[in-house]
Structure 1
Amino acid sequence: MPQPSAPRLPTAELAEDGERIQKVLARAGLGSRREIEQWIALGAIRVNGQPVKLGDKLHEGDQLSINGRPVDYARRLEQTPRVLLYHKPSGELVTRNDPEGRPVIFTQLPRIKEGRWIAVGRLDVNTQGLLLVTNHGELANRLMHPSFEMEREYAVRVLGSVSDEMLERLTRGITLEDGPARFESLMPAGGEGANHWYHVTLKEGRNRIVRRMFEALGVTVSRLIRIRYGDIVLPPRLKACTFSEMSEQEVADLMVRVGLIAAPPAAAPPPAMPHQRADGPAQPSRRRPKPRRKDKP
């Protein structure tokens, strides 16, 4: 039976009428769209020698520089999109460098020739677990954007008892200093003595939101592990400080999920066989067999 064709990864060509600068540079792996928008606002990006503003487009053949240095964005666009699943340990920072000399995740990742690795969101220094990292800035942007409702799941260990009324409030919704917040689900997951485990899910990634929600009810989170991001689960055998890489097919499927590439067309049905309708099984022949003549004595 014919199988559906695999989704095709994006090409390096720009649209005929150009594309927004931050979108192109994010796709080229130069940074997240938000970072690039900040560079534009600071006047760090020029096209054909002229400073640009938000909303400006890049066209085929345009010359671009960042902080006075020419950037071959066309060559960077030809790189294959990659996604790593990194198991971040507690005590490691999601940043490129730390003035205090603390360990950072990017020293644990493989080197790439073009572009750079971009973390999909952040985990605070005391949180461990699944962190997605990609060389495709627009993919990172969409995976983080609230409109795509990427569900995050955490295993949470709290110190002390949590009443049923508290649990209900956390799923019904509470108000934090930066707005309302709620868990999509909250399930008990065992524990001993004063320590209790829960699995919680939510569809946003505000700073320290899981810890702050429990703290708002006077409950201390003693351990926090992200175990899922969207449909991607932390591999059980992936040790802390190590990573695994998604296959090209898995990356393509992920890009379909966030609308970066179109889903492949469904496989066409096989051609009908003789006496077979296109919408059903083979039908028996309606011709009757000829009667046999009796042999003469």
Structure 2
Amino acid sequence: MPKKFAKRSKPSGPSAKKGVGGKGQGGRPKKKGAKKKGPAGRTSYGPPKKRVFRKRPPRPSATPATTGPREDGERLQKVLAAAGVASRRECEELITAGRVHVDGKIVTELGARVDLSKQTVHLDGELLTASKPVYFALNKPTGVVCTARDPAGRPRVTDLLPPNAGRVFAIGRLDMSSEGLILLTNDGELANRITHPRHGVEKLYHVQVAGMPSNEVLAEVRKGVYIDEGRVAFKNVKLKSTRKSSAILEVILDEGRNREIRRVLARVGHKVQKLQRIAVGPVRLGEMPVGAYRELTREEVTALREATTGKHKTIAVEKRPSGPRPDRKRPPRKAAPKKAERPAEGRAIIGGEESKSATERPKRPTARPAKHRPHKHGATGKPTGKPSGKPPIKKGVKKSGGKPFNKSKNKGRGGSGGGKPKGKR
């Protein structure tokens, strides 16, 4: 066998073992802590080394240090909402869009704090100032939008308020084809609490739909109906009244989505014909004319704040008019005049004399009761039980003549009349 093909003999003995003080496969002694080589010649690592992380430089703020936000002020979106710009969510969109300037510099950070008494805040170039909070209730007509700015130039709910109302915005929205109660204020904090679903402030609606919804349909709406945004359920819905070809539903919501009622009812096959909001929490529409407005009372504002914390009943019960109840008793009737005091005008004059009226005519004598009439006695002396008067009709007697119909006309000729009785001859 050639030398290059000869088999190598395996080493034997204690020196052939690895790690026991002898020589390894290369005849070299093994060092403690040395790296081992794998079958492909790769080095297997020992214990991991401690990694050193490089510190990153501080991230630059979205708002430069020269812009003016302070650490001791209020958050910018809250200041804008309190100034009556819009709700807090809409104010956040205005800030991120770069439309707000603080001390002449653009601020896009939502966490920026400002002090309106020491700093200047501009929105689209207009200076904002702190104003006294105002609260209005308005009966929105159809064809009016609730947005603060409308590029199409349509009529807005703020146009129905007086010019001295200041900068106000609507709490929540009603679409253009809906009507009813809408609240307007410049208090962004309260507006945010009323509209946020977390606080659960209820809104009451009267909805006229086509057709007659069945109990199964109403139960399905209470359970939830799927629309584009997902599953939507009314807090409560019940049938209020019915008409010839439509019905009026009473719907209660504790959150508001775009045209939520219309889309849900159309999903179950009942198109909305008319939608009117009746109440927002404890504030009701009442008998306010369409397009009219009024300021909320201090009690109503307090009740709205309590409704956002769950301390107040959300939907107000319709109250009856206060004050003493009107006297609904009938007026006392006039006493009828006495007969002697009756005027002569009501009596007819016949032949120069006054005729007696019907009330003065003598009464007819009443007939004597039948039980007091004497009864006629029969042949046996016993009463027949019939009242006296016409004699009782006997059997075998004609009603007309009263004579026996079996008697012969010739007396004494074998008849049974007054002649002699027949005898044997």
* Smaller-chain TM-score bracket: 0.7 to 0.9
Task: Report if aligned partners of 2:71, 2:113 keep a CA contact under 8 Å in 1.
Answer: no
- Relative contact order, CA 8 A, sep 6+: which one is greater? 1
TM-score using structure 2 length: 0.53
Name the residue aligned to 2:111. Answer: 55
1:24 aligns with 2:79: yes
Structure 2 CA distance for partners of 1:101 and 1:42, relative to 1, 3 Å: closer
Q: Name stretches of at least 5 consecutive residues in structure 1 with no aligned partner.
A: 1-14, 260-297
Find the aligned partners of 2:189 and 2:84 in 1 and give their Cα distance: 8
Find the aligned partners of 1:43 and 1:199 in 2 and give their Cα distance: 43
For residue 301 of structure 2, give the secondary structure of its aligned residue in structure 1: helix
Find the aligned partners of 1:216 and 1:250 in 2 and give their Cα distance: 36
1:37 aligns with 2:92: yes
Task: Report if aligned partners of 1:118, 1:140 keep a CA contact under 8 Å in 2.
Answer: no
For residue 176 of structure 2, give the secondary structure of its aligned residue in structure 1: coil
Structure 2 CA distance for partners of 1:18 and 1:213, relative to 1, 3 Å: same
For residue 198 of structure 2, give the secondary structure of its aligned residue in structure 1: helix
Cα distance, 1:126 vs structure 2: 1.0
Cα distance, 1:47 vs structure 2: 2.0
1:216 aligns with 2:216: no
Residue 33 of structure 1 aligns to which amino acid in structure 2? R
Q: Map 1:63-78 to 2 at 5 A.
A: 63-71=120-128, 73=129, 76-77=130-131
Cα distance, 1:128 vs structure 2: 0.7
Name the residue aligned to 1:118. Answer: 169
Task: Report if aligned partners of 1:82, 1:248 keep a CA contact under 8 Å in 2.
Answer: no
Which has the higher Rg, Structure 1 or Structure 2?
A: 2
Residue 211 of structure 2 aligns to which amino acid in structure 1? G
Q: Name stretches of at least 5 consecutive residues in structure 2 with no aligned partner.
A: 1-69, 310-425
Name the residue aligned to 1:239. Answer: 289
Percent identity, aligned pairs only?
37
Residue 186 of structure 1 aligns to which amino acid in structure 2? V
Q: 1:127 aligns with which of 174, 178, 191?
A: 178
For residue 85 of structure 1, give the secondary structure of its aligned residue in structure 2: strand
Name the residue aligned to 2:300. Answer: 250
Higher helix fraction: Structure 1 or Structure 2?
1
Larger deviation, residues 245-254 vs 167-176: 245-254
TM-score using structure 1 length: 0.74
Find the aligned partners of 2:91 and 2:234 in 1 and give their Cα distance: 31
Name the residue aligned to 2:235. Answer: 184
Q: Map 1:156-235 to 2 at 5 A.
A: 156-235=207-286
| RMSD across aligned positions (CA) | 2.1
- Alpha-carbon displacement from aligned partner over 1:189-210 (angstroms, at most 9, x marks no partner): 1121111111011111101101
Cα distance, 1:17 vs structure 2: 2.5
Q: 1:85 aligns with which of 128, 137, 147?
A: 137
